Every structure is written in C-alpha cells, then in structure tokens.
Amino acid sequence: MKLIWVFLSLTLSTIASRDTQAALPARITKGELKIFVAPNQTAKVLVVLPEGTAFEASNYPIEGFYKVRLDDGSVGWAPMDKVTLYDPETQNVISKPSWGVKVKPSWYIRPTGGVNLLIYPGLKTNFPNDFTSMGMSIFGGLEIQYLLSSGSGFFLRGEYLMWSGTGAVSTDTYSFSSIPINLGLVLQLVDAGHFTLKLSAGGGLGLMNRFQVSEIATETVSYMNPMMIFAGIGKLEFNFEISDSFGFFLEAGGRAFFSGNNTFNSDNGTAPSFEQNFLMYGPFGGAGFLIGF
C-alpha cells in the first residue's frame, strides 16, 4: 500500500508540475506567428505577429504551446516550435525542455503481444509439489492510454492469455486461458523527443474459463470451472514515436493472478473433490505499435 501511495504521489506531482511557469523574454524565430486565445491550433486567433517580435513567455509548455504576454498586456498562446526563449540575465538562448513536453496526441491505442513466464506457488495442498518451474505463456491484447501534457496519465488494458506447463517433478500437465482487464497509472520517467521511458502499474479483474490439471499417473483430469480472478500488472515501457500519430514500443515487467476458495471437479462426474486457493505470478515481455489521435 505504501508503494502504491508513493507511485500515485509521484504521478500527480508530475502532472501538477505543468502549471509551474515563469515569465521569460522570448522572440519569434520562424516567420510570422499566430497567437491563439487557447493552447490549440483550432482556437480563435488573437493576433498575427511578424518575425522578430519580442514578448514575454512562460518557461513551461502546455500541449505544445507557451503562454505569452504581449506589449499591450493581452495574453495568448504561441506554438513552442516558433518561439525562442532567452535567459533574462545572460540573454543566452534557453534550450526547450524535453521533460513534460507533449506536442503529441493525448490518446493512444496500443495493440500488444508477447510472452509470460509464470510460476505457481499455490495449489500445493492437494497436488504434487512440482509447481516450482515456470511455464511458458503467450498473450495478446489492446491497451488504451490517456496522457496529459506532462507525459503521465492513465491506462486501460485488456488481454487474452494462454498458459501451459509440465510439472518439475511429475509429468502432470497444467493449462488455462484467461482474459484479464487492468486499469492503472502511467508515470513518465524520461522524455528524449522521439524516445520516451514510462512506468505503469495497475490492477483489475479477469475471467478464467478453465484451469485444468492432467495427472498422468492416475489418468485423471481435474479442473476448476469458469471463475473471476484478481489481476495485477507493473511494467516499464520504451516508446519510439516515428510521428505524432504512429510508433513502436517494447515493454517488460511482471504480473500476478489470485483467486480464493476455488472448487476443483474431476472429469468423471463425481462431486467436487476439494477447494483450493489460486495464485500465480511471473515476468513478461512484449512489443507492439502505438497509434495516437
């Protein structure tokens, strides 16, 4: 719980930092400049200024715009790529900040797929103690992100996941498929232009349609009926954006699933044999592409 609170505090402080501004001398460097009444290219144009015009501007962009104050006292918004900022003491050009600069779409659709390595530390009461090895799993899904001008924001992720494995001691086989859905936070760690590094974590629920155990020695199959599971995910993602609306990403992290008091049934139609808690976790890696709008 403490770790979640720290993560939430960092995310909110990063988002809030976009409102921190200070007036700096600025000048138009690329042709004439349209000053808008809001930080949006579709907003009403307040005035059109010629190249070389000087004015005051904020030191922090919002949605790719600087807030500016003109000589007549009017306030508007100027696209950051046409404005140069200067240090008020040395008059040196100030490099545009890379942290928190977001001239990108706020919404992203991210088809993703990859591989999990999952281990069962639970289910040891009534089955052989051979869940110490990891089983290979593949997944595919879709993640939707909403990012604020700080680069941090929120995500909603749905996946289809399949897993199968063989016991480390016995030759029993285990398999399941599940549809976990997670909601969580995204925290931007590094923004280097086209390259960004983000940390995200969240939790949610999932539907597991059937968890099956095939015991080779007794030639029996036991299974749990469809059930809801608790799901959690945490990951680092490396993004490379070719343009404002398209790019690629790599992700790596860990995930966990849990459900309690699940009833196992046998395949011969007898009464439920026993109840068991369900717990699994492990690392995963994936890749995909992102579409912004």
pLDDT of residue 225: 72
Would you mind telling me the total number of residues written for the chain in this entry?
A: 293
Residues of the chain with pLDDT under 50: 4, 6-8, 10-21, 97-103, 124-125, 128-129
Q: Where in the chain is the domain with CATH 2.30.30.40?
A: 21-94
User: For position 15, what pLDDT does the model report?
Assistant: 41
Cα 278-227-201 angle, rounded to 5 deg? 65
Q: What is the pTM of this model?
A: 0.62
How many Å apart are CA 203 and CA 281, to the nearest integer?
13
Residues forming CATH 2.40.160.20 domain(s) in the chain: 107-292
Distance CA 112, CA 290 (A): 9
Whole-number pLDDT of residue 106: 81
CATH 2.40.160.20 fits 107-292, yes or no: yes
Could you give the angle at the alpha carbon of 132 between the alpha carbons of 130 and 137, nearest 5°?
A: 105
Pick the CATH number of 21-94 from 1.10.3720.10, 3.30.300.30, 3.30.1280.10, 2.30.30.40: 2.30.30.40
How high is the pLDDT of residue 11?
A: 47
